[in-house]
Structure 1
């Protein structure tokens, strides 16, 4: 779950204002830099794999 998804979920289900979640998230990022760097890298790699997979599917569909 990314920051925006977290803000939306907490707002909807726990009535926590997005500005509060955003502020806490920023502080967590400061205090846990290594964790968030690794998290961002894994998220980016996952998104890249998903784009490649979609391109392959689109290519297979177009070649038929």
Structure 2
């Protein structure tokens, strides 16, 4: 039974990381900016963010090709705004999923 609890919480964690990456995309962050922001503000290891991002790219090839073309055309948000947004995402996720723990 311990394995199912472990895999369930792992899946929940990966889902949270995916959700945060999607928010980074909304704010026109590059992969590197997203990895840096989640590492700095959410204590998510860069390898985790990078792996989840890469999987999203594989599943949504056309979207990411267009996204890459549009990079740099939009205004970027500040470091403080990034921190505030990520902290809100973490607390929202924990409110919805009490078993989720921030690492």
- Give TM class, smaller chain: 0.5 to 0.7
Among candidates 40, 43, 52, match of residue 12 of structure 1:
40
In structure 2, C-alpha distance between the alignment counterparts of 1:17 and 1:24, rounded to whole Å: 11
- Long gaps (5+) in structure 1: 47-64
* Residue from 52, 56, 66 that aligns with 1:24: 52
Q: CA RMSD, aligned part only?
A: 1.1
Structure 1 residue ranges, 4+ long, deviating more than 4 angstroms after superposition: none
Higher helix share: 1
Provide TM-score, normalisation by structure 2. Answer: 0.42
Structure 2 unaligned residues grouped into runs of 5+? 1-28, 74-103
Q: Normalising to structure 1: TM-score of the pair?
A: 0.65
Between the two proteins, the alignment pairs up a number of residues equal to 45
Rg larger in structure: 1
